[in-house]
Structure 1
């Protein structure tokens, strides 16, 4: 009944409310720290600003992709909205890359640009979180529920293996991005799939352009294996 639905959506148990609250908390943390590092008259070490952007801001972008964008893009009608958000994410990643290679004198200028772009990006994301959760479904959005369990195998000193064939479809790409986010520079893991994971590679190129390696170890016909790594330029 309509009245009951309105009441439920106004409570803290509604998935959209939970997701929006979680997003706002993360957004405020990023805004607050970045404001400290780019405040007028403040001259933080360029390394501090670069470290924050490369690790904290970039980690948030990875989490947003894993927890919200990837699940919400599964329905066809969710892709245009998610693609637009991914453009913003890719632009921020490029600015962070520019910060990493820029001189110390460029840090304040690039940092201010990142702060402005991030604030706009977060405001847009915050406004559409309920829509993304609805598209993803509460059971698939990790902002509204626990993420799916991972199927991972450690083989001695060899890279970790993630066999996505044993993971529900809605959790495959988020699981892979979550694993990538935990890699140290030079580390890698092996992805096992039943087909060529070209869509996943396109997502990596959009989000982590220039920061990952992709090497085919086996190319079918029944099993595909890809070594995915974090390259040193991403630190």
Structure 2
């Protein structure tokens, strides 16, 4: 998802790179949550309800505020550039479609339909980010009378918060729930969703796993399917969540590595 941006000064180039990096993180976080919803939706289980709730929470907490921040800062300035006016009108229309898909996720009664809405949201969002990276940011960064770094000063929604957000599991614990670790409706170990990242683009592969793991509550598990032994990824998971996930290898190659990741 990386693009070459020719900026009018080094600060603007750095600002564009920071936004692109945050876009990559957002795309991966969304892809992981959607993948978990798709994996659990077929059987209409409580795991599917949790996955949908976590996906909606992510959209409310990160995706929609990111879009709103763009409309407040980048888009008005870009709209004043003759070369970008029609483009920005189209981007604003896509924001409305993204919000409508989130509302559909929030209200639909079927997990299968929610999975379809989530997949549509993912496709639209990834296409939207690609246009921002390849078209909007370069136009702003190269405009001599526009300071992209100045526009982005203090805009955490566009550059990333630099901190971990609470997961659905943590919310359940705060509310007094067990997160499925006892016998009150949690998984009995037979309904473990699978996340196959072998076809996920390398640029967002790790972020996709992080997004999926964010939706796995305490006492629940996720099967990760990778194209190689994911030791660097496991190290990153441990750095981000020390002692939180137990790892068990189910298969060690040659074409796939399957690991059971259990949220303690």
Q: Given the two structures, how large is their TM-score scaled by the length of structure 1?
A: 0.51
Q: 1:86 aligns with which of 89, 92, 101?
A: 92
Structure 1, unaligned stretches of length 5 or more?
Answer: 1-8, 149-235
The residue that corresponds to 1:158 in the other structure is: none
Written as runs of structure 1 = structure 2, the 5 A alignment for 1:46-65 is 46-65=52-71
- Asked if 1:13 is matched to 2:20, the reply is no
Task: Report the secondary structure of 1:41's partner residue.
Answer: helix
Of structures 1 and 2, the one scoring higher in RCO (CA 8 A, sep 6+) is: 2
Structure 2, unaligned stretches of length 5 or more?
Answer: 1-5, 41-47, 156-264
Task: Report the secondary structure of 1:146's partner residue.
Answer: coil
Distance 2:84 2:107 in 1: 35
Distance 2:30 2:115 in 1: 11
CA 1:86–1:143 in structure 2 vs 1: closer, same or farther (change >3 Å)? farther
CA 1:18–1:55 in structure 2 vs 1: closer, same or farther (change >3 Å)? same
Distance 2:96 2:142 in 1: 24
Q: Given the two structures, how large is their TM-score scaled by the length of structure 2?
A: 0.46
- Asked if 1:26 is matched to 2:22, the reply is yes
Distance 2:24 2:150 in 1: 16
Written as runs of structure 1 = structure 2, the 5 A alignment for 1:141-220 is 141=148, 146=153
- Asked if 1:41 is matched to 2:39, the reply is yes
- Do the aligned residues in 2 keep the contact of 1:72 with 1:79 (CA within 8 Å)? yes
- Once the 2 structures are TM-superposed, how far is the Cα of residue 104 of structure 1 from its aligned partner? 4.5
- Once the 2 structures are TM-superposed, how far is the Cα of residue 109 of structure 1 from its aligned partner? 1.5
- Once the 2 structures are TM-superposed, how far is the Cα of residue 114 of structure 1 from its aligned partner? 0.4
C-alpha deviations, 1:137-195, integer Å up to 9, x for none?
Answer: 433x45665369xxxxxxxxxxxxxxxxxxxxxxxxxxxxxxxxxxxxxxxxxxxxxxx
- Once the 2 structures are TM-superposed, how far is the Cα of residue 78 of structure 1 from its aligned partner? 3.3
The residue that corresponds to 1:120 in the other structure is: 127
C-alpha deviations, 1:81-108, integer Å up to 9, x for none?
Answer: 2112112222111211222221242321
The residue that corresponds to 1:130 in the other structure is: 138
C-alpha deviations, 1:36-95, integer Å up to 9, x for none?
Answer: 111152545321111112221101101221221112123444322211211222211121
- Asked if 1:110 is matched to 2:130, the reply is no
Task: Report the secondary structure of 2:100's partner residue.
Answer: helix
